[in-house]
Amino acid sequence: MKKPLVVRLAACGNPDFGESPTRMFKDCYEKVSTIAEASQVCRKFIKETIRPSGHSLGSGNWSGGQVYLAESGAYVACIAYNGRAFSESVSFTEIPMDTPSTALEPIANPRLSRGAPRQLPVAARRLLNARDR
């Protein structure tokens, strides 16, 4: 089954704990089929990622969750720390988990999280496509 979406999984330092928010300690991408699957993948990443200090990942560390269309690389949604999906266009509008990927519209002027690209990077797209072969 073709996975039409890509979710960014990323974590950075949390200034509340004296960590630099510009220091990324995890940053990767994973193909998913649905917004619900993107949410599950994000929650699993958050639950299983350990900060360099040895503590679990907190909301101040979460800088991932950006969802892109796999084919075009367009940014279409964001998964919050709590697993809810949002559109970041004019206002943060919640996206229902059962929304089909074909109904997701590219976001024209996103308010992106720390270090998040506006489009899926070409290198990430190539790597994910190579994994599918």
Q: Is 35 a member of any domain?
A: yes
Model pTM? 0.85
User: According to the model, what pLDDT value does residue 87 have?
Assistant: 87
Q: Is 18 a member of any domain?
A: yes
Q: Is 97 a member of any domain?
A: yes
Q: How would you classify the pairing of strands 24-32 and 66-69? A: unpaired
Q: List C-alpha distances in Å: 89 to 2, 10, 93, 126, 128.
A: 27, 21, 8, 27, 26
Q: Is 82 a member of any domain?
A: yes
Q: Is 85 a member of any domain?
A: yes
Q: Is 133 a member of any domain?
A: no
Sign of the C-alpha dihedral, residues 82, 88, 94, 97?
Answer: negative
Copy the structure tokens of residue 77: 């949604």
User: According to the model, what pLDDT value does residue 76 have?
Assistant: 92
CA 131 to chain centre: 19
Condensed to tens digits (0 to 9), the pLDDT of residues 75-133 reads 999 999 999 999 875 567 899 999 998 899 888 766 665 556 677 877 777 777 777 66
Mean pLDDT score of the chain? 85
Range of the domain at 79: 5-125
Q: How confident is the model at residue 46 (pLDDT cuts 50, 70, 90)?
A: very high
Please count the structural domains in the chain.
Answer: 1
